[in-house]
Amino acid sequence: MVTSRGGERADLAIVDGLIAEVGPDLNLDGPELVASGLHVFPGGIDSHVHFNEPGRTEWEDIAHGTDALAAGGYTAFVDMPLNNLPVTTTADAFDLKLAALRRSACVDFGLWGGLVPGNLDQLAPLVERGVMGFKAFMCPSGIDEFPMCDDGALAEGMKRIAELDSILLVHAENPARLREPAGPSARDFLESRPVEAELEAIATAVGLAEKTGCRLHVVHVSSAAGLDVIEAARGHDVDVTGETCPHYLIYTSRDLERLGGLGKCAPPFRSSGDQSLLWRLPMVVSDHSPSTLELKSGADFRKIWGGISGCQTTRQLLLGGATKPEWVAAVTSTNIAQRFGLKSKGDIAPGFEADLWIADLGWEGDVRRAHLRYKNPFSVHEGQVIRGRTVHTLLRGRPVTRDRPSRARFLRPE
């Protein structure tokens, strides 16, 4: 059993979908699943995915996206309020998206609402419906239907979100520091989104969080300087956390020209110095932001969609990087569950739901397109070394299957 506390050899008893007992040589009755020689992790929780349904389902849909998550050892996710259409900034849009998830998701799911200029009156109805929190962009999102919040709109929204005892997630880049790329190359793109844009936006968001009392989470942190701002704020009792993604831990700006459009994302890859420090962040999520292959192709970076497909391989990539299994359990499950109020998930202990990833850590290989289960099965990670073959993914003690979506549950923050 691998948890954030470490590893131990043990038996595990499951009763009615819950973990009843963990310990050596338990005297168990009933059917058994033999996992000798394997490792059992708490089911992964990916709190940052874009499954684009309803709306842009030619990019990704819920059935393919959740099947990919289960193949990578994930049993729960929280879907972002864009790039689906309509965007999840109103109660009516929430209802449409929830209905789509209930039809097709094969693992448990939660929903982020969106904070955009002019939707303050929708925040309370969205909280009543059960959103995990809200997402805002501090720069243009790339989706016209999801406009950015300037500092004034952000401050108003954070004050209201604090009153609702919810949490705000921010894409932190200062638009004043961004510019149109000077040319079509990868280098032109990198220079158009400097690290100062992220650093200044995180500092602004942290200052507003301190002033309003709003809980804050910074998504896909890419720079050591941004991490320093978050850690300093936490030292002054500001309730702020941050996450990063496998692509920021694997690639640097030097890799982008070689990778081409498949590696375009925002913020972009940074230096090796940034990369070495991002491992301190307590959460690693995929930011699975898929599209068609056509939108990721071409020589002109200005025209390429900025997003990376990766939700299936997050845990295997981290394990392939020779990291400790207990760290992987923490940053892909336990810490996420604790931060976002999923109190029955993220651990292997009595009383927790029996959401489990049973993996063969003796297996090593590489990411191959033929094994990817996305609607558009390609990824910048193709060829990367991975470790950990999925033997079983269990949702409340039962194997996850794509043809049994009705077992999935809607998750509300506790």
- Cα–Cα distance, 288 to 153 (Å, whole number): 27
Structural domain of residue 155, as residue ranges? 43-345+373-386
Q: 24 lies in a domain? A: no
CA distances 244 to 83, 248, 250, Å, are 20, 7, 11
Helix (H, G, I), strand (E, B) or coil at 148: coil
CB 45 within 8 A of CB 286: no
Residue 28 lies in a domain: no
How many structural domains is the chain composed of?
A: 1
- In this prediction, residue 405 carries a pLDDT of 59
For residue 216, give the nearest of 45, 76, 340, 36 by alpha carbon: 340
In a domain, 412, yes or no: no
**Whole-angstrom Cα distance, residue 288 to residue 155?**
28
Question: Which pTM value belongs to this model?
Answer: 0.97
Neighbours of 323 (CB within 10 A): 16
Bond from prior residue into 86 cis (ω within 30 degrees of 0): yes
CA distance 191 to 194: 6
What confidence score (pLDDT) does residue 348 get? Answer: 98
Residue 396 pLDDT: 97
Beta bridge partner(s), residue 2: 7
pLDDT at 402: 75
Query: How many CB atoms lie under 10 A from the CB of residue 225?
Result: 18
- The pLDDT, as a whole number, for residue 38 is 97
> pLDDT (tens digit, 0 to 9) for every residue of the chain, 414 residues total?
999 999 999 999 999 999 999 999 998 888 888 899 999 999 999 999 999 999 999 999 999 999 999 999 999 999 999 999 999 999 999 999 999 999 999 999 999 999 999 999 999 999 999 999 999 999 999 999 999 999 999 999 999 999 999 999 999 999 999 999 999 999 999 999 999 999 999 999 999 999 999 999 999 999 999 999 999 999 999 999 999 999 999 999 999 999 999 999 999 999 999 999 999 999 999 999 999 999 999 999 999 999 999 999 999 999 998 789 999 999 999 999 999 999 999 999 999 999 999 999 999 999 999 999 999 999 999 999 999 999 999 999 999 987 765 689 999 998
Name the helix (H) or strand (E) containing 356.
strand 356-366
- The type of residue at 119 is N
Q: 3-class SS at 60?
A: coil
Scored b (16 or more CB within 10 A) or e, 250-286 reads: bbbbeebeebbbbbbbbbbbbeeebbeebbebebbbb
Answer whether residue 380 is part of any domain: yes
Residue 199 lies in a domain: yes
Residues 6 or more apart whose Cβ sits within 8 Å of residue 45: 74, 75, 76, 77, 78, 332, 333, 336, 337, 342, 345, 346
Q: Tokens in use for 164?
A: 């609702």
* Cα separation, 164 vs 152, whole angstroms: 19
Q: Decide if 2 is inside a domain.
A: no
Residues with Cβ within 8 Å of residue 80, at least 6 apart in sequence: 48, 49, 50, 112, 135
CATH number at residue 179: 3.20.20.140
Residue pair 269/238 in contact (Cβ under 8 Å)? The answer is no
For residue 162, being part of any structural domain is answered with yes
Q: Is residue 411 within 8 Å of residue 131, measured between CB atoms?
A: no
CA of residue 199 relative to chain centroid, distance: 21
Instruction: Answer yes or no: is 352 within a domain.
Output: no
The pLDDT, as a whole number, for residue 347 is 98
Give the model's pLDDT for residue 30: 85
